[in-house]
Structure 1
Amino acid sequence: MEKFADVKPQIEQDELLLYTYYRSSCSWRVRIALELKGLKYEIAPVHLLKSDQLKQEFIKVSPLGQVPALVINKKIALVQSIAIMECLEERYPEPALLPKDLHKRATVREICEIIASGIQPLQNLGTMDKISDDEDKKLVWAQYWIHRGLTALETILKSTSGSCCFGDDVTFADCCLVPQISNAQRFKVDVTPFPTLMRIDKYLSTIPAFQRAHASKQPDTPPEMVSVL
């Protein structure tokens, strides 16, 4: 992991402004990618529990009212975390977060999509508010979908992983995994059936870029949440 220790972009860097919420796993995965690339960026906090995402000034940036959103050079606004990460990979190709081999890249993207499409949207704030007003029912719903998704990931990563999700190199898949494991723990999902995922998560937590991007280290992290994240 030395290649991520003190990375500096090899080309002139764009001005980057990231609209984010400290605990949003979609925002979190983009922060990890930015940190791994060694990119400087400003943060514009969007407090989801206070409905900042529904304010008109933010809707102009992100029409669906979702974080993250990345504004580049005060001109281009990108939304959806995977699209943002893909853009960063093309604009700043070193260090690479996708394998060079076509089929290996597809497998990494498959892992990302299981998380970004098959788990996270089903346990996010907006979805659960539509499911029920009962907090216990919301919890059961979230636990079901997270457990189902992590079960699939455990099966896949048993054959693809080394120290990371795909071999020993950090990829997009790792950027997506760490926030989702945090979600699982937040929703009190039993993670003992997922030793492969937990082993990888533990290893990734030792990498400085992952530490800097962590939800407990953000400017908008409430002081009372630092010790529980």
Structure 2
Amino acid sequence: MEAGLTLYSYWRSSAAYRVRIGLNLKGLAYAVTPVHLVRDGGQQHAADYAALNPQELVPTLRHGERVLTQSLAILEYLEEVFPEPALLPADAGGRARVRALAQQVACDIHPLNNLRVMQFFDREWNVPQPERDEWTLHWMRKGFTALEAMVAGSFDTGRYCHGAEPGLADCCLVPQLYNARRFHLDLAPYPTLQRIEAACLALPAFDAARPENQIDAV
């Protein structure tokens, strides 16, 4: 176990959820400092937190005096500093594939249904809730359809997104499926993704990272 790790997290943030999974998979001890994204107008906008993370987003990981932001960058940092057990395959082709799967979630699906996007639609453009929901569902369907094809059609897919051990792509997939259920997306068209999710959630590292198991869950 490694001392000196503090994760600034919100229980329902899928980006923070990714990092919790990665920390757990590596067996790293870490403290959690909750940052409530809605209460008090959004605690991420408070001056002390904005000084820590100028993007005013979660997660933020503090490792000693080092402050890290952006979930994929944090996970890559953990991979380099604490290489075992690995979140990325040993071969270059495998690493590229896993990064592509992870980025499909973190860069293409998630940003279009993030809280600040929904709040902008509501507060600045007065977009009705049903239209905001349909925006979210449209981009989730597009993203998950591509992701299902990528994993279902590859011999590299195993019990998990890549092979027989969970890794970076699984850290991203499971939280996004959690989000999809929140928005009542029909997941029937994505059987491979659901199979992988079930295998992941059977592991203690994933179970402990679930939103409902966090100290700030409400």
Fold-level similarity (TM above 0.5): yes
Match of 2:4 in 1: 15
Report the counterpart of residue 131 of structure 2 in structure 1: 137
Rounded Cα–Cα distance in structure 2 between residues aligned with 1:202 and 1:38: 21
Aligned AA (2:48): E
Question: Does residue 52 in structure 1 map to residue 52 in structure 2?
Answer: no
Q: Deviations over 1:73-130 (max 9, x none)?
A: 1x11100000000000000000011001001100000001000000001001101222
Matched, 1:61 2:55: no
SS at match of 1:164: coil
Equivalent residue in structure 1 for 2:140, among 136, 143, 146 = 146
- Does the aligned pair in 1 maintain the 2:9–2:32 contact within 8 Å? yes
Q: 1:156 aligns with which of 150, 153, 163?
A: 150
**Equivalent in the alignment of 1:173:** 169
Instruction: Give the Cα–Cα distance (whole angstroms) in 2 for the partners of residues 130 and 17 of structure 1.
Output: 30
Task: Give the equivalent residue in structure 2 for 1:116.
Answer: 106
Q: Does 1:72 align with 2:63?
A: yes
Distance 2:38 2:119 in 1: 12
158-167 or 21-30: bigger deviation: 158-167
Q: Tell me the CA shift for residue 14 of structure 1.
A: 4.3
| Aligned-pair CA distance for 1:131 | 2.6
Partner residue in 1 for 2:209 = 213
In the aligned structure 2, how far is the partner of 1:127 from the partner of 1:204?
Answer: 29
- 2:73 is equivalent to residue 83 of structure 1: yes
For 1:100 and 1:14, the matched residues in 2 are separated by: 27
- TM-score computed with the length of structure 2 as normaliser: 0.94
Deviations 1:185-206 (A, max 9, x none): 1111110000000011011110
Deviations 1:35-68 (CA, angstroms, capped at 9, x unpaired): 0100000000010012001001000111000000
Following the alignment from structure 2 to structure 1, what is the Cα–Cα distance between the partners of residues 177 and 150?
A: 16
> Where does structure 1 lack aligned partners over 5 or more consecutive residues?
1-8, 223-229
TM-score (norm 1): 0.90
Give ranges in structure 2 of 5+ residues lacking alignment: none
Q: Which amino acid letter does the alignment assign opposite residue 142 of structure 2?
A: R
Counterpart residue type for residue 91 of structure 2:
D
Q: Summarize deviations over 1:153-198 as a string: whole Å, max 9, x none.
A: 0000111321100111111000000000001111111100000000
Query: Which amino acid in structure 1 is aligned with residue 72 of structure 2?
Result: I
Which whole-Å CA distance do the structure 2 matches of 1:62 and 1:35 have between them? 23
Q: Secondary structure at the match of 1:153?
A: helix
Identity value in percent = 43
